[in-house]
Structure 1
Amino acid sequence: MDPDPDSDSDSDPSQEPGQSPIHLLPMDAIHHVFSNLPLRHIIICRSVCKLFKTALSSPPFLETLPPFNLLALRRPISTLHVFDPTLNQWFRFPLDFLPFPSAAPVASSLGLLYLWSHSNSKSSLVLCNPLTRQFRVLPQLGSAWSRHGTVLVSAAGHVLLLSELAALYFSADAGCWRNFSSNLPAKPRSPVVVAGSVFALCDVGSPWRSQWTLFSCRFSEFSRWDRLERHEWGDIFDILKRPRLVSGAGNKVFMVGGLKSSFALNSPCSTILILRLDLDSLEWDEAGRMPTEMFGLFQESTKFKVFGGGGRVWFSGKRVVGRFAMWDYSEAVGRNGIWRWVEGVPGNGDGGLCRGFVFDARLTAVP
């Protein structure tokens, strides 16, 4: 007997109450669709329905997603403020899952955020993933380390705290902090991690005249520093006033500072210059110069901060209220990069100095 054409047995499942046609798609097709969206949108879609949450929580799928490249602000708050350079937008990650009244974010590596938390006279470094709201607390330290130490993290997740005279090293294998002498001739300035090595500037000059020198060591051998210098470099360290280091993309290190108009002791600066060191060839070249109209605001400022990583560098000035200057370098934007303003910096309306660091957010990062 032929089935009744009006029978419910032949009804389209996609038309059943509460059933969407997307439930008929194979999981591979759903993954293919969402793989074309940025990570931020995928995170939002995970809360739409059970199907999306299941599909977008699959480890094989998550491992194929590129990281969410952000600028995170360093400030002791209960909410992490981040900036997406691609969307040119600020947004927030709540940190209310941490059992601390306040925490100060200071660094990141491979999708994990590193924060200082304080209790009485003790401090602890906390590792967390604000996307998955997971965290882990490292063994406590004296509060002086959170005030004066610089936090550096390797790609393997090892942590180095570097101060003027000493260094602390932590690895998951040892499970405790180990204390070493820093073995540097002077206080390290703006140390950065690039290609498995630590690079830092040291002023080895006199109280009357600075003489900046570049030092480096392997992250796993931080007690053995080498002085990097080449005859071909000439006076490369003498042309910049108050230089800072910023990690670059690949095997590149940026050195940023005011370009002196002469070699006189108190020579004024004509602009902010970005130099790039290729670690493979050990050759310097000029990467960018801040435009005159932009530099005018920083020239009037009594103080400014430089931070960033990869192919971007940000500048925060004491009198540059509510915004950052940003230099964006990549093959797509040209040889000398692009300069632009980043507006609406949270909490910068009073003209206070802000600092930040690159946070490559990932859903797969586990503390």
Structure 2
Amino acid sequence: MDASPIYQLPLDTLHQIFSSLPLRQIMICRSVCKLFYQILTSSCFIDLISTGPPLTLLALRPPHHHHNHNRHVSCPSPSLLVFDPDHDEWLRFTLDFLPFRAPHPVASSLGLVYLWADSADSPESNKSLVVCNPLTREFRVLPQLGSAWSRHGSVLVDSANRVMVLTELAALYFSGSGSNQWLKFSSNLPSKPRSPILVSESVYALCDVGSPWRSQWKLFSCTIGKLKKCESWSRLEKHEWGDVFDILKRPRLVRGSGKRILMIGGLKSSFTLNASCSTILILRLDLETLEWDEAGRMPMEMFKCFQESSKFKVFGGGDRLCFSAKRLPSLALWDRSRGKGDWRWIHQLPGTGDGLCRGFVLQASLKPLPLPLPLPLPQLSLIH
């Protein structure tokens, strides 16, 4: 190996050669030999490619029983399970560099993963939000929060320096600048928010304003500025929308591409109280024009697999959505990244397939944290 011609190349030349590779190939090349590992994990090379295009993956959140496990029971090494839709492969990024009990990933933005974790030396169950990059193995602990926030709050992120934990009664906001603490505001929502999302400077959520006998979902929004002043949320509605919220059963929101949000639910066959669903519908709202359009609907043959389940889960974002249901060993994938809405199955789903899968989009990159830690970098492992 010492006689290999590649050892004769200048380091700058090697950097230029490897920087032309996609991120996925760079991660694989790290495990080829010691020379490649040293080159591809050096700080100067990471700085060179840190602004390159990310690797778009679909990450799975651990099941709830892993999140609330008995802390005295040993568990396998924590990891983040992701699916690469461009190569139809499951990948696993280890989280063993985190010195916490039961890390529970819940959200991601700009290549960084946000997770709930218990301090390893804490006698109490004191949850903290931790931000990390699984590719660079760097992490930072945000100011500590109580366990109630982790059980009842939705974690919303849209940049590395802006995080929100939202409940029906209150909202916590952390900007990463100024004082190193959470700011608490009253949320003033009419009901528990369903699938809230953070888009630019505004938060959007669905709330049930109906009666105990019949749900009536409406879309609410509030800017971060108004939230800080504890001002009321605004109900987004237009006469032209008609019955857009009545045609869907159990709707939920997902952030779309650009300034768009997606609303997904079962398409009711009628307006009766317990109407059956004929398929799963994806509606898209343009936040600039406030106009809805249909982005996609699940093919009937695929929807038949979801009819037997009382409910389904959807996660993803942008132009890709994943659908899961109980006792379904595969995920349904809606993919519009190539311009049209294609539907296909994601098979070989890890686990038994008995539970409902939840997850988020991970734009994996080698973006460093503001305070990098000198830790060894991981290998990329395929799941067969």
Paired position in structure 1 for 2:39: 54
- For 1:294, give the aligned amino acid: M
Partner of 1:97: 97
2:318 matches 1:318 = no
Other-structure match for 1:279? 287
Cα distance change of structure 1 residues 51 and 317 upon mapping to structure 2, 3 Å threshold: closer
Q: Is the 8 A contact 1:67 1:360 kept in 2?
A: yes
Residue 101 of structure 1: SS of its match in structure 2?
Answer: strand
State the shift of 1:59 in Å: 4.2
Answer yes or no: is 1:345 the counterpart of 2:352: no
Question: Aligned partners of 1:266 and 1:90: how far apart in 2?
Answer: 38
Structure 1 match to 2:25? 41
8 A Cα contact 2:219 2:237, kept in partner:
yes
Distance in 1, matches of 2:197 and 2:368, equals 22
Q: Which residue number corresponds to residue 73 of structure 2?
A: none
TM-superposition CA deviations, 1:274-296 (whole Å, max 9, x none): 00011121110001010101111
Q: Distance in 1 between matches of 2:41 and 2:225?
A: 36
The percent identity for this pair of structures is 62
1:264 has 2:272 as partner: yes
Higher relative contact order (CA closer than 8 Å, sequence separation 6+): 2
What amino acid does structure 1 have at the position aligned with 2:167?
Answer: S
Counterpart in the other structure of 2:182:
177
- Asked if 1:364 corresponds to 2:367, the answer is yes
For 1:340 and 1:161, locate their aligned partners in 2 and report how far apart those are by CA, in whole Å. Answer: 33
Local SS of the residue matching 1:296: helix
Query: Which residue, out of 192, 199, 203, partners 1:187?
Result: 192
**Is the contact made by 1:194 and 1:248 (CA closer than 8 Å) also made in structure 2?**
no
For the Cα contact (< 8 Å) 1:170–1:176, is it kept in 2? yes
Q: Tell me, in whole angstroms, the C-alpha distance in 1 between the residues paired with 2:36 and 2:344.
A: 41
Q: Which residue of 1 aligns with 2:56?
A: 69
2:263 is aligned, of 255, 270, 276, to 255
Shift of 1:28: 5.5
Residue identity in the other structure for 1:103: P
TM-score by length of 2: 0.85
Q: CA deviation at 1:134?
A: 1.1
1:199 equivalent to 2:204? Answer yes
Distance in 2 between the 1:221 and 1:21 partners? 62
- Which residue, out of 150, 155, 171, partners 2:154? 150
**Counterpart residue number, 1:80:** 80
> Does the 8 Å contact 1:110/1:365 carry over to 2?
no
* TM-superposition CA deviations, 1:107-142 (whole Å, max 9, x none): 011111111112523111111111111111112211
Per the alignment, do residues 220 and 115 of structure 1 end up closer, same or farther by CA in structure 2, a change over 3 Å counting? farther
**Map of 1:306 onto structure 2:** 314
In structure 2, how many angstroms separate the alpha carbons of the residues matched to 1:266 and 1:171?
Answer: 43
Residue in 2 aligned with 1:295?
303
8 Å CA contact retained: 1:56, 1:62: no
SS in structure 2 at match of 1:217: strand
Whichever of the two has the greater Rg, that structure is: 1
Query: Number of residue pairs matched?
Result: 346
Query: Compared with structure 1, are the counterparts of its residues 296 and 274 closer, same or farther at alpha carbon in structure 2 (3 Å cutoff)?
Result: same
Change (3 A) 1:95 1:52: closer
Distance 2:139 2:101 in 1: 15
One-letter amino acid of the structure 2 residue matched with residue 82 of structure 1: V
Select between 115-124 and 214-223 the one with higher mean Cα deviation: 214-223
Name the stretch that deviates more: 262-271 or 155-164: 155-164
Change (3 A) 1:215 1:236: same
In structure 1, the partner of 2:248 is 240
User: What SS does the aligned partner of 1:293 have?
Assistant: helix
> For residues 72-101 of structure 1, what are the alpha-carbon distances to aligned partners after superposition, in whole Å with 9 as ceiling and x for unaligned?
111147111111111110011111111123
Q: RMSD value over aligned CA atoms?
A: 1.9
Contact 1:252–1:279 (CA under 8 A) maintained in structure 2 = yes
Query: Hey, what's the Cα distance between the residues in 1 that align with 2:95 and 2:268?
Result: 43
Structure 2 unmatched runs, 5+: 67-76, 371-384
Contact 2:158–2:200 under 8 Å retained in 1: no
Q: Which residue identity is paired with 2:308?
A: E
User: In the TM superposition, what whole-angstrom CA distance separates every residue of 1:320-350 from its partner, at most 9, and x where no partner exists?
Assistant: 1x211110113x242xx00111112222x15
- Report the more deviating stretch, 153-162 or 310-319: 153-162
- Spell out, residue by residue over 1:150-207, the C-alpha distance to the aligned partner (whole angstroms, 9 max, x if none): 0011325211100111111122222111221111111110011223321111111111
Q: Confirm or deny: 8 A CA contact 2:109 2:160 kept in the other structure.
A: no
* Counterpart residue number, 2:6: 22
Q: Secondary structure at the match of 1:141?
A: coil
Tell me the secondary structure at the aligned position of residue 319 of structure 1. Answer: coil
Q: Is the CA contact (8 Å cut-off) linking 2:19 and 2:49 kept in structure 1?
A: no
* Change in 2 beyond 3 A, CA 1:70/1:219: farther
Once residues 51 and 184 of structure 1 are traced to their aligned partners in structure 2, the CA distance between those partners, rounded to angstroms, is 53
Give the residue type in structure 2 aligned to 1:54: I
AA at the equivalent of 2:331: F
